[in-house]
Each structure stands twice: as structure tokens, then as C-alpha cells.
Amino acid sequence: MIKNLPLRSGVGIVLLNKNNKVFVAKRIDNQKNFWQMPQGGVDSGENYLNAAYRELEEETSIKNVKLMKELNGLFSYELPKNLLGIIWKGKYRGQKLKWFVMRFLGNDDEINIRTKNPEFCEWKWIELENITDLVVDFKLQVYEEVKKKVKKIID
């Protein structure tokens, strides 16, 4: 039954500051020390890039960015059994994400995670190398693949 559930279409944003540090935030709904890059679902009729800009603003209030690169392909992950039927009202078994690399052009004081529907309780800039140290295990493979591709862009 669960294997028949579709993967949710989503986007992920690797947001780099002027020092090529990556924006990560800690989710409100997970009290463990897991951090993630901004990501979210694609609305019906919305293209991936517009979804990425919308999600970034909804989660962080950030608008002042420049698109650097759209990563080729989709990156997917499956939810662990304990989250199936809970996340996304039980409609999906995981996500397939289109990732975008963006340059943050603003100042840190423009970042506000206390949004209308906040998802994060804390945020910080970290080295690209460290994004796989902080992510929840079921997203680890996606983050490893994304890290490799982003490394080639910024090297």
C-alpha cells in the first residue's frame, strides 16, 4: 500500500553567501540537532524555479538572490517508516527534489525565519563540507549528491 504512494514534487535551495558558506536551518518540528537547507513542495501549475523562489521567501524572508545554477536531474528520498502517514497528511512516501544553487546578495539582517508559518527555530551559515554532518539520516544521500555537484560549481 505505502509503496504505491507517490513521491512529492519539491525543490531545494543551496543558498551561498559571499564566502561560499551554505545557509542551513533547524526545523521547529524536530528537537534533535538536525539542520537542513531550504526546501519545499511545488504547487500545482508552478514551475520548479518559481517554487524555489517562493519557498525560500516563505521559509527565510530572503528575496535578494541570484540564480547560479540549476542542478541536473531530480534527487529523491523515502521517508522512514515511523514518518509515513504522518508527514504530508500521509499522501506521499518521500520527495523528489529539483535543486537550485543561489547566491545570497543581501545582508544577514534581512534573514527572518519568524515567518507567517515558521518552519525553523534557528539558522546559520556553515561550510559546504559540513552539510552532511547535520542532516537527518533519510536525507543524507541527497545531501551527499548535492554537495558533490555544488563543490564543482564553487571550486
- pLDDT confidence band for 1 (50 / 70 / 90): low
| Domain housing 8 | 2-154
Nearest to 6 by CA among 101, 99, 58, 74: 74
Number of domains in the chain: 1
Q: What is the CATH number of the domain that holds 88?
A: 3.90.79.10
24, 123 contact by CB (below 8 A): yes
Predicted confidence at residue 32, as pLDDT, reads: 85
Q: What is the mean pLDDT of residues 32-39?
A: 94
The H-or-E segment that residue 12 falls in is strand 7-16
Exposed e or buried b per residue across 132-155, where buried means at least 16 C-beta atoms within 10 angstroms of its C-beta: eeebbeebeebbeebbebbeeeee
Helix (H) or strand (E) holding 60: helix 48-60
- Is the pLDDT reported for residue 103 higher than 70? yes
> pLDDT tens digits for 50-91?
999 999 999 999 999 999 999 999 999 999 988 888 888 889
pLDDT of residue 108: 98
Looking at residue 82, its pLDDT comes to: 86
Per the prediction, the chain carries an average pLDDT of 95
